[in-house]
Chain A
Amino acid sequence: MSPVLRTRRDGSTRPARYRAVQPLAVLWLTLVWLAMWGEVSPLLVVGGVLVAVAVCVAFPLPPIDIASGLRPLALARLVARFLVDLVRASIQVSGVVLRRRPVRNAVVAVDLESSSDFVMTLVAAMLSLIPGSVVVEARRSTHTLYLHVLDVPDEESAERFRRDALDLEQRVLRALPPHAPEEAGA
């Protein structure tokens, strides 16, 4: 979601400030805080909430627009596939590290279908963990990711990688369907 523009009295525009304190983020940070302490007591809970609110105010983040519903089955499939791919990618990279033959790489541009920043972030994060790729550059205006792909012998495998990346995006979109466009700006 791109930032909403506010119009000032003199007619100039500025991006609206995101509402900093989000209940879900506070809940999650409080849980992390309690996990760090390893026990639950009223004082710790209050302290955790205070720290969580302070963190949210200090580092405001745009809200996550997945409120239209999480699909548990698709999400489970996404996570399971992610774990399998994590093992596969690690073995692949280990093979490249240990073999004697020099490695050939590629920088591939992937134009994402979705216009959601959240989906783009998620796909970028997952792409750097699972197939042999690292995000070199992300262009938000066109939702393009530029990925450095390890061990690409020819142009055909670069094309295959692009298809894999778009498949991953489809899996993410199935698990976390974004808002309809008219709601997204609200």
Chain B
Amino acid sequence: MSWTTPLDVAAAVCILLGAVLTLIAAIGQVRMPDLLSRMHAATKPQVLGTVLIVLGLSLRLRDPGVVGLLLLVVLLQMATSVVSSHMVARASFRAGQVRHDLLVVDELSDEQLHEEPRGAP
């Protein structure tokens, strides 16, 4: 047994966990009741899943250049998934694609009845 074996095992565990989280994100897309809830499944477990897969890869490859590139993958993933989920959520809310029966509190719709129009900055 060489010193790399524990690293390889850790890498395998990370990649497996990441794959499971990504699978859960996919299941969430199917199971969640409305679009806004689906966006949750699409952002959180999916981002952590990507982080874990990337961590596993860098533990296995052990090459500084590759690790730098993988770090970039994580950063861009975090930045873009946030923006895309916001844009989709905003569009769906404005289009009225909201299951109001699922909301306990809805401070946005309450306020817009008597406040500035939605397009206001």
Give A contacts to B, CB under 8 Å.
32, 35-36, 38, 86-87, 89-90, 92-94, 96-98, 102-109, 124-125, 128-129, 132-141, 146, 148, 150, 152-155, 158
Of the A-B pairs whose beta carbons lie under 8 Å apart in the complex, a sample of 26, sorted by A's number, is: A38-B65, A38-B69, A93-B28, A94-B24, A97-B25, A97-B31, A98-B24, A102-B102, A105-B37, A106-B106, A107-B103, A107-B105, A107-B109, A109-B108, A129-B47, A132-B40, A134-B43, A135-B82, A135-B85, A135-B86, A137-B93, A139-B120, A139-B121, A141-B121, A150-B37, A155-B105
A125 cross-chain contacts in B, Cβ below 8 A = 78-79, 82-83
Complex CA distance for A98 and B121, rounded to whole angstroms:
38
Q: How many A-B residue pairs have CB under 8 A?
A: 134
Is A103 within 8 A of B32, CB to CB? yes
Task: Given A97-B28, A98-B27, A107-B109, decide whether A90 and B44 contact each other with a Cβ distance below 8 A.
Answer: yes
The DSSP consensus for interface residues of chain B is helix
> Which A residues are in CB contact (< 8 Å) with B36?
105, 134, 136, 148
Minimum Cβ distance to chain B for residue A79 (Å): 12
- Give the CA-CA distance A125 to B86 in the complex, in Å: 9
Residues in A whose Cβ lies below 8 Å from that of B81 = 129
B118 is an interface residue with CB less than 8 A from chain A: yes
Contacts of A38 in B (CB 8 A): 65, 69
Given contacts A97-B32, A125-B82, 6 further A-B contacts (CB under 8 A): A105-B36, A128-B82, A128-B86, A137-B90, A139-B121, A141-B121
CB distance from B40 to the nearest CB of A (A): 5
B121 with A152: CB separation less than 8 A:
no
- Chain A residues touching B, majority SS: mixed
Contact between chains at B33 and A35 (CB < 8 Å): no
List chain B residues, Cβ under 8 A from A32: 72
